[in-house]
Amino acid sequence: MAIPDYQSIMLPLLRYAGDGGLHRFREAVEALAQRFDLTEEERRDLLPSGQQPTFDNRVGWAKTYMVKAGLLESPKRGIFQITSRGRDVLSQDPTNIDVSFLEQFDEFVAFKKLRHKKSDTEKDKPEVIDREGTPEELLETAYQALRDGLGGEILEAIMGCSPIFFERLVVDLLVRMGYGGSRREAGQAIGRSGDEGIDGIIKEDRLGLDIIYVQAKRWENVVGRPEVQKFAGALQGQRARKGIFITTSTFSREAVGYASSIDTKIILIDGQQLVEFMIDHGVGVTTEATYELKRMDSDYFSEE
């Protein structure tokens, strides 16, 4: 089955704690993963940031919300247990526990007001965070949407520039990624070769222990196997072992399959990957705002 949202986890988590004992969060995650019959792939699924498993994050927020509602309590770090209120709720045999259910408890309402303090003009707006995901998921979804939009703008700008500019862009990106030696060295190497199927030669590292051949195409059409095969042939003619083929468009399935089946190492970078690398390495973009996501340091507050 699909990974359940955090509200769907609330009732099973409360029932798990219903025996009244102390429970470790990690053990609860594993037990609930079995309860929801999650596959190994689903258990390994990560938030967009790659910092935490999606299911673990949702169990954590289900626990947090029920602690705030007084159904669970956390006597010490990483440990939780059911409260008398939680036992009362279970005795009513509810069919579902979600944010709306928890709003019957004053402590939870106060918690929500603190988290989602609104101006008078926003009072009638829906609580998106309660319906669509945990705070981390919504934040990362918004971040990815902004990043995708930026990538589209960058790709459109590249297509409107000259081939010479694209050549310079490739140099800037490869140097920023740690290839090509200095900017000047890489700039002299790219576009120098003139061999068929090869646009340039750069150093793999600043010491020049190995070299990488580069092919760059500012195309709108799909790059097929013949183009990649031509590049591979050029590499073999130079007795080269490594190559990078960069395009603003995409590679066909046959092209990708061919590149992965030959002994020569050829890395294919399509338009989407190109703009991702540009954003990651700060090429052609500027930072508009920075937000730090922090968590409480429980060790700081420990008096033991």
| pLDDT, tens digit, 9 for 90 and up, residues 277-294 | 999 999 999 988 787 878
Residue with tokens 């990483």: 78
- Residue 259 near residue 228 (C-beta atoms within 8 A): yes
Residue with tokens 């928890």: 102
pLDDT digits (tens, 9 = 90+) for 186-233: 666 665 544 445 577 887 777 767 788 888 888 889 999 999 999 999
Token pair of 237 as six digits:
């003619």
Task: Please report the sign of the dihedral spanned by the C-alpha atoms of residue 151, residue 152, residue 157, residue 159.
Answer: positive
**Separation CA 251–CA 260 (nearest Å):** 13
Candidates 18, 14, 44, 13; CA nearest to 29 is: 13
Predicted pLDDT of residue 238? 81
First vs last C-alpha separation in the chain: 43
| 113: Cβ contacts below 8 Å, ≥ 6 apart | none
Question: According to CATH, what is the number of the domain 163-280?
Answer: 3.40.1350.10
pTM over 0.75: no
pLDDT digits (tens, 9 = 90+) for 144-179: 878 888 998 899 899 988 888 888 888 889 888 888
Q: Where are the domains of the chain?
A: 6-133, 163-280
Token pair of 148 as six digits:
């995708």
- Residue 166 near residue 216 (C-beta atoms within 8 A): yes
